[in-house]
Amino acid sequence: MQTDIIIISILTSTFLAYRWITKKRLNLPPGPPPEPFIGNVRQLASVERHEMEFEAWGKTYGDIVHAKLFGRSMIVLNSFKAARELMDKRGGNYSSRPPMVLLVDLMGWDCVIPQMPYGERFRKHRRLIQNYFSEQSILAYRPLQRKECATLLSGILKKPDDYALAIKRFSAATIMKIAYGHNVESVDDMYVRLAEDAVTDSTATGGIGSILVDFFPALKYMPTWMPGAGWKRHAYRTREKVQKSLNLPFEMVKGTMANGTAEPSFATTLLTERERTRRKLCTMKMTSRAPLVSSATDTTGGVLLAFFLAMVMFPDVFKKAQEEVDSVVGPDRLPDFDDRPSMPYLDRVLNEVYRWSAPVPLGVPHASIADDEYRGYDIPGGSVVVSNIWAMTRDPELYENPDEFKPERFEDPDAFNPRDLVFGFGRRVCPGKHFGDASLWLCAANMIAAFDMGLKRDENGKEIPVPGKFVPGLTRHPDHFECSITPRSEKSIALINEATTLFA
């Protein structure tokens, strides 16, 4: 057994050495010096916030940076100009995904659209999602958004200290209703838990092998009984949770359709189409919605939490937004979608929230399909391509004084709209961006109309400052913070209760 490990190590080292010696000399973009064989892996492993490290690289090497991950090139794009040119204008070559052996082959995420390589299969399934989330299609979801927004307000009214749980439930409830026709009553909902557990375990590292297998795919054949194979045992345990999170909600819908209690949803549409055409629908079509449950709570929920934090940290902004909302809706009703054009300052506030707290700071990595050239630099096919959205939202060429929270920057009609970058690029742009943005606006407007938000006070009446820290990770959301959320008046309480009853 020890001999086998030694032989594998020698063969791997020999292969890497051969690649290192015989590779074509390319004019790669500048970047941090790599170490032999491992490249820049050690540098990246030593930092917690990769978006900040990449931003620092950009200040040293420029807006397009090259790094090495073992034998694979990684291109980091630190400017919107570079991302727009490669991801959007040359999207056909930059819309694939890097090989994800751990997630796809071992954990079973092969049936979900975000992990699919670019091609006809991806395009077919993406069209399916886009049809449900187009600007026109999402108008049909407004009653659902009103209902869940009213439930959010009611939950915060009853338990203001549990505002984060109320936001989490709201985010999961909207997508579960659209996907499966399922009502989510609390964050302890079985199907929400299944999705969260699957995603949490999928992102938890199981040892160095879980990192290496994406670069050395042969490691996926490593027997689970071998020492050092704990990462693979973890992957197989996770696979069971993944399959449950993908299959059980769909089986639930099939059951409700059989007994005549199913509500219209994405899943019922697919099953009805399968019955009509007498064709077996691809499993990927049926399960492609499942990961959206977790991603919705991470992204929409994360931005809404960031909005709450901003309103607490910047009281002058909150007061100005509240004055605008009051001038439009008055004291006798809550805001609705038709009020949005009359609230330009609130839109500027939300623009600044997007910029200040980009929900996915590094996007999701793309992969180049073929060799390319940009600004005289060679970009090898198969490179991992990362859009550093964090750096773009803090680019002084786009935003003056980027470290300030300043909604007024968007009074200029030529100001760069952060919505053009925070939802991703090219043919992988978030298909639910219009729905998520509409949900965010409705909740923000209603919270401002119904509640006063500010710093909490201790037993001596002294304000408790909030640290304003964010949890590092693939998605960005504030660390838990204490705040004061109180209804503005008895009339506000009555309006919340009326809305909850009306949309129940």
Question: What are the binding residues for heme?
Answer: 430
Rounded to the nearest 5°, which phi and psi values hold at 117? -65, 155
Give per-residue burial for 95-123: e unless 16+ CB within 10 Å, then b: bbbbbbbbbbbbbbbebbbbbbebeeebe
* Closest to 325 in 3D by CA, of 452, 503, 482: 452
Distance CA 205, CA 474 (A): 14
Task: Decide: residue 26, CB within 10 A, 0-12 exposed, 13-18 middle, 19+ buried.
Answer: middle
- What's the full length of the chain, in residues? 504
Q: Contact, 32 vs 43, CB < 8 A?
A: yes
Helices and strands (H and E) in the chain: how many: 19, 12
291 vs 287: CA distance, rounded Å: 8
Tokens at residue 440, please? 């965010």
Report, in this order, helix, strand and coil percent for the chain, each rounded to 5: 60, 10, 35
Three-state DSSP at 74 gives: strand
CA distance 49 to 142: 37
For residue 146 the two structure tokens come to 């009103």
Residue found under tokens 């696979």: 239
Query: Tell me, what amino acid is at 244?
Result: K
469 in Cβ contact with 313 (< 8 Å): no
313 vs 466: CA distance, rounded Å = 7
Which residue has 């570079």 as its token pair? 82
Phi first, then psi: give them for residue 373, nearest 5 degrees. Answer: -135, 135
Q: Which residue, 8, 255, 152, is CA-closest to 485?
A: 152
* Binding site per annotation, positions: 430
Quote the CA–CA distance of 183 and 176 in Å, as a whole number: 7
CA dist., res. 130 & res. 110, Å (int): 20
Q: What's the CA gap between 258 and 21, in Å, rounded? A: 63
Which among 166, 456, 463 is positioned nearest to 297, based on CA atoms? 166
Gyration radius of the chain over CA positions: 24
At CB < 8 A and 24+ separation, what contacts does 266-274 make? 266/132, 266/178, 266/179, 266/180, 267/179, 267/180, 267/181, 268/181
